[in-house]
Amino acid sequence: MWTGFRAVLRETHRLRGRHLRGAPAALALALALVAPTATYAQTKVLCLGDSLTEGYGVEPERAFPALVEKKFVDLGKDVRIINAGISGSTSASAVSRLRWQLRGKPDVVLLALGGNDGLRGLRVDQTRKNLDEAIALAKSSGVKVLLAGMKLPPNYGPEYTSDFEEIYPALAKERGIALIPFLLEGVAARPELNLPDGIHPNARGHEIVAETVFSHLRPLL
């Protein structure tokens, strides 16, 4: 490139010396040769979650993050979905994990944590605090947030179950962020769409979860 640049400069000087009108054009060409190339922009979506996001029990390419990415690719959209799901994670890890993942400069974060908090009967107010701090961190970094709501089996008692489920719509409203009312809508409590443990979706279940996530994520991109 520099050889070509020097050649153009020489031509510019030659033309200037002859007082021809083409000199400004030659100089413009020289500047164009060294102008910085526009940075290639790819939309990144970070899926910060637990085993549901990681795709416990299915192949990585059949977990919902990979399926959502494929849906965007099929539409001709350059969207990369980053699967940051870790089995067994609770909301307590949300802020530290998000802080690390923000180094990759995602555009959107799907926050899908809290399910394990509920299954372990952890304090609802602490779960809410953990999620709220993660949302605040994302927003302060200029990252859009899509919050994935979670629900619990009825055997946890009506009061605890209700208080837990209310975390998600309440935070979405207070923080002004997008909400998936229930990540496992159409999948939970359906044996044919879950692994034998009755908690984690099988490959068919992940296809439905992917549809749910895609429909809520697409308007944000």
Q: Which residues are catalytic?
A: 51, 197, 200
Provide the sign of the torsion angle of the four alpha carbons 54, 60, 62, 66, taken in this order. Answer: positive
Which of 158, 160, 180 is CA-nearest to residue 169?
180
Q: Distance between CA 42 and CA 33 in Å, rounded? A: 25
Q: Write down how long the chain is.
A: 221
At 131, list the tokens.
């999620």
